[in-house]
Amino acid sequence: MNDWKKRLDIVYSTNPDYHYNKEGEEISETLPKEKQLLRISLDKRNRNGKSVTLITGFSGNEEDLKELGKLLKTKCGVGGSAKDGEIIIQGDHREKVLDILQKEGYIKSRRI
């Protein structure tokens, strides 16, 4: 992995015991599925008139978010992305996404 890009603003240190402290990189623990409050909505803003299903409210690390996004994209048979705490599914799949999330154990999921 090219982690040198993350250290571009670091000045060289002659201290052999120096360890670079990565600010802002906290690995947050993912809440259990039952406690996640996911909101499912339809979004058309800044998408050239195309509608997407937007899932927000995920609390946890980026890997778990991407895993859930991959599951939803596969089950819906469409493309999308998962980043910055949001999952975007191409097209209007609100009902299908709600059913999938509730079957997976995200019982507090709701449409808005």
pLDDT at 50: 92
Q: Assess whether pLDDT exceeds 60 at residue 1.
A: no
Residue-wise DSSP of 50-80: --EEEEE---S-HHHHHHHHHHHHHHHT--E
Which helix (H) or strand (E) segment is 43 a member of?
strand 39-43
Q: Where are the domains of the chain?
A: 30-111
Contacts of 62 (CB under 8 A, 6+ apart): 83
Decide: 41 and 111 in contact? Cβ < 8 Å: yes
Q: 91: which DSSP letter?
A: S
pLDDT tens, 50-76? 999 999 999 888 999 999 999 999 999
Tell me which residue of 22, 49, 30, 39 sits closest to 109, measured CA to CA.
Answer: 39
Whether the pLDDT of residue 5 is over 70: the answer is no
CB 105, CB 36: distance < 8 Å: no
CATH class of this structure's domain 30-111? alpha beta
CA pair distance 72, 83, nearest whole angstrom: 14
* pLDDT tens column, 10-41: 666 677 777 666 655 555 688 888 888 999 99
